[in-house]
Amino acid sequence: MFESIFKFVGEMTGGMGLESILVWLVTFGASFVLSLALIVLVLVKLPAGYFSSHYQSDFLPNTAWYIRWGALILKNLLGVFLILLGLILSVPGVPGQGFLTILLGLIMLDIPGKRPIEAKIIGRPTVLAAANRIRARFGRPPLQLD
């Protein structure tokens, strides 16, 4: 009985077996949950004025240099991963918050010239509204743009 079901599913999906479909669903389901969790965590922790042109940040002040540099390298690697994941999630048909994930990746990176790109992404009305809805659920003030 199961053989006929696998054969039918294989024919309907162009040769993709049921196992392949399940792996695809689990992979994209996990990426959706992971990206959503990271989005919520970072957006809730961001100061309301982070996207202001006057905002200055200092990563891990008052820590030893080797801890600071190690964390900085890990933070940048996570940022690259989030940008790549966001690009995948931006493809139509793939579940997830693509633009918000790309924005979080940019926030994590320490590269010159990232502020205008961040401002352009967060300045999109749908992205800003989604970010502020998430912040409101956790009692945080809305993000301020200038």
The answer, yes or no, to whether residue 6 has pLDDT greater than 70, is no
Using CA atoms, how far apart are residues 131 and 146, in angstroms rounded to an integer? 16
Cβ contact 106:83 at 8 Å:
yes
Reported as a single tens digit per residue, the pLDDT across 98-119 is 877 888 888 888 888 887 788 8
Interatomic CA distance for residues 82 and 45, integer angstroms: 17
| Tokens, residue 129 | 């509204």
The whole-number pLDDT of residue 104 equals: 83
pTM of the model as a whole: 0.60
Query: CA 39 to CA 68: how far, in whole Å?
Result: 23
> What is the C-alpha separation between 135 and 40, in angstroms, rounded?
8
Domain boundaries of the chain, sorted by first residue:
31-137
CA 87 to chain centre: 9
Provide the token pair at 58: 């200092």
